[in-house]
Every structure is written in C-alpha cells, then in structure tokens.
Amino acid sequence: DQQVKQNSPSLSVQEGRISILNCDYTNSMFDYFLWYKKYPAEGPTFLISISSIKDKNEDGRFTVFLNKSAKHLSLHIVPSQPGDSAVYFCAASEAAGNNRKLIWGLGTSLAVNP
C-alpha cells in the first residue's frame, strides 16, 4: 500500500539555500495534506498543511505547493537552517466528517549543512 510516497529518503542542502521535499500520492480522494517534522526520540511536529482547494500555502520560511492534476506536493524551506535538519513526513487524509485518519509517507531525512 503506497498511497503516499516520498521517493527521496534523504536530502542534503547548504545553510541559506532552498530545501525542496517532494511527495506523491495515488488516492484522488485525499483532500487534505500535511507536513510533519520529526527529530529522533520525539513525536512528529506539525509544520504546515494545505487543503485540496488551494495550490499554495505559506507560513514563514515554509511553503507547500499542491499540484492536484499531478497528485504531487512539495515543501519548500527558504532559507534552510541547520535546525531544520530532521525527518520530514508527508501525510494525507480524505474527508470523513472530522475523523481524519492520516496516511503517511516513509519520510525524507533532511540535513542542512552549515
């Protein structure tokens, strides 16, 4: 079951540059997408989300882009900072009232080098 795919297990970028993390999905019923950041020995921390009625959502250094026709979303971090080094998970849910079971990707480990 690969409804949410993050095809890059790891990414390394230089401090100050842009980090782009990608996510693909197969279930056209997904209507809400989230990005979580996770440090070792901690739970996932919510970063940013986007509804399927939008194609972009921005929060500070983080921007999520959604391309519904391609079933693709991406997270941009600009500028990247060493503290951004973590595993980033893409997750998706489909509308079922307010019950929002999340389907997760495998994660991308981001390393931001000083």
The residues binding another protein (CB under 8 A) are 32, 34, 36, 41-46, 49, 51, 89, 91, 96, 98-106
Reading the block at residue 2, the tokens are: 């690969």
Nearest alpha-carbon partner for 104 in 31, 49, 19, 25:
25
CA gap 107, 59 in Å, rounded: 21
CA gap 88, 94 in Å, rounded: 20
Q: Least CB distance from residue 60 to another protein, whole Å?
A: 16
Helix (H, G, I), strand (E, B) or coil at 3: coil
Q: Least CB distance from residue 42 to another protein, whole Å?
A: 5
Cβ closest to another protein, residue 13 vs residue 91: 91
Cβ closest to another protein, residue 79 vs residue 104: 104
Q: Least CB distance from residue 109 to another protein, whole Å?
A: 12
CA gap 68, 61 in Å, rounded: 23
Cβ closest to another protein, residue 60 vs residue 114: 60
